[in-house]
Amino acid sequence: MLQRCVLLLGAGTALHFSLGRANPSFLAYPWGVILAVNYLYLLILLRANADKWQWVKRWYDRAAYITSLASMLVLTLLFGLIRQDGSTEGLAGVLGLTQMSSSWIFNLFLLHFTTVMGLKAIDDVWHWRRRKLPNVLIHLSVFIIFTAAIFGSGDKEKVKVTLPLGVPEQMGVAHDGLSARLPFALTLKEFVLDEYPPHIHLYAMEALSPEFVVIDGEGSGGELGPWRVECVGYLSHAARLSADSGYVDMQHVGATTAVLLKAVHTDTGQSVEGWVSCGSHIFGGSTLHLPDGSQLVMPQREAKKYLSRVEVVSAKQSRTFDISVNHPATLGPWKIYQTGYDSARGRWSTISVLECVKDGWYTLVHIAMWMILAAGALLFAMGWGSRKKQKEEKV
């Protein structure tokens, strides 16, 4: 089994260096369907001749199943650990693992795992009277899901939409740069952004210190170089009327975060106090100049979580979704992802950038998911029935 993994890794690497990244566009309808039907026919043909061709059985025996599953788990783990930015730097970039969905290595291992699951599922159906129904359903549903993912990858539609606040939008930009019309209208009702607490850095010798102090309210602070920093005033919504004035509390669009800091030199005891702010698209920021020529600065606060409350109106229904990163909205075969906002305005952004993705093989995947739920219910019922029978036998 290890030899098979090495062979797949070598073949994937060779294809990557010779052909570049895998492009699933050739699987667009109807070719994806044609290839999927022929793939299924080939698997059935192999299973029908498994008794004559002993090497076929080695493709879906226990060792092959465990090896293919373990290799997919490793690649999925790498998928999550490696930044998917398409970079070509480092070993991961050279092998194409920084864009895993179009990596030959990943796709070959995925096809191998799907083939193993397909042969296993066909064998279960072939001998369904000797198999437990939940196992048959699980193997068959997993095979359907991965087959749809492979052969349906060329039928995915991706449309990026920039939504202004309160303005219905039905047009977007497809992945090829052309305008595309969606079968529903999107309206941004509200944009909400939560930020991490302010970070205070020491700026000296034209460089920002890697160390920082987190300010989450009055009394918080820490040490930066030779200075002890303490927050004596905190305004989450602040503004200043002139460049030489202090900050005042103001609940207004464009309000920024401002903190009144006291810095004490740990050796000399010299202290200085003043406002520090990151500023906003309306109000300017400020730094605290220290006697040794350095400064205390607050970079722009990092986004912790942001979501868009979006009304989706189609011919059949009208629904409101809260869409955030990793929590897309689902509308039939469409998924709507949160991908961006106006970073210059930050929490006061009046636009939201969404990506609408349609999976043409959604119905098959939906059926497979229901099969998995049915298998789980059957396993629970069988386990409960077995425990009940054991109790009756003891009585």
What does DSSP say about strands 256-265 and 227-239: parallel, antiparallel, or unpaired?
antiparallel
Domain-terminating residue out of 284, 301, 318: 301
Given a contact cutoff of 8 angstroms between Cβ atoms, the answer to whether 378 and 133 are in contact is yes
For 132-147, the pLDDT digits (tens) are 888 889 989 999 999 9
Here the CATH number for the domain that contains residue 161 is 2.60.98.10
What pLDDT sits at residue 395? Answer: 52
Whether residue 393 has pLDDT greater than 70: no
Q: What mean pLDDT is predicted for residues 105-130?
A: 89
Indicate if 137 and 18 belong to the same structural domain. Answer: yes
Residue 25 resides in a domain = yes
CA distance 120 to 58: 11
> What's at 10, amino acid-wise?
G
CA atoms in the 13 A half-sphere facing the CB of 284: 8
Indicate if 28 and 141 belong to the same structural domain. Answer: yes
Residue 239 resides in a domain = yes
For 265-280, the pLDDT digits (tens) are 999 999 999 999 999 9
Other CB atoms closer than 10 Å to residue 113's CB: what's the count? 23
Indicate if 216 and 309 belong to the same structural domain. Answer: no
Other CB atoms closer than 10 Å to residue 293's CB: what's the count? 9
Q: What is the pTM of this model?
A: 0.69
CA distance 330 to 303: 24
Which residue spans within the chain are E strands per DSSP? Answer: 157-164, 169-174, 179-195, 199-204, 207-214, 221-224, 227-239, 248-249, 256-265, 271-277, 288-289, 295-297, 303-314, 318-324, 329-331, 334-341, 351-358
Residue 291 resides in a domain = yes
Classify 61 in phi/psi space as left (phi over 0), alpha (psi -120 to 50) or beta.
beta
For 321-357, the pLDDT digits (tens) are 999 988 999 998 899 999 999 988 988 999 999 999 9
Indicate if 14 and 74 belong to the same structural domain. Answer: yes
CA distance 133 to 378: 8
Indicate if 128 and 40 belong to the same structural domain. Answer: yes
Helices (H), 210-338: none
Residue 234 resides in a domain = yes
Indicate if 36 and 110 belong to the same structural domain. Answer: yes
Indicate if 189 and 202 belong to the same structural domain. Answer: no
Structure tokens, 241: 């009327």
Given a contact cutoff of 8 angstroms between Cβ atoms, the answer to whether 203 and 297 are in contact is yes
What pLDDT sits at residue 57? Answer: 85
Coil, helix or strand for 113? helix
Structure tokens, 354: 């969404």
Indicate if 72 and 217 belong to the same structural domain. Answer: no
Residue 394 resides in a domain = no
Indicate if 13 and 41 belong to the same structural domain. Answer: yes
Indicate if 136 and 7 belong to the same structural domain. Answer: yes
Domain containing 281: what range?
A: 197-301
What pLDDT sits at residue 385? Answer: 63
Indicate if 42 and 187 belong to the same structural domain. Answer: no
Indicate if 166 and 204 belong to the same structural domain. Answer: no
Residue 393 resides in a domain = no
Domain-terminating residue out of 278, 301, 324: 301
What pLDDT sits at residue 390? Answer: 64
What pLDDT sits at residue 154? Answer: 81
Residue 395 resides in a domain = no
The number of domains in the chain is 3
Residue 211 resides in a domain = yes
For 50-70, the pLDDT digits (tens) are 888 888 888 888 888 888 889
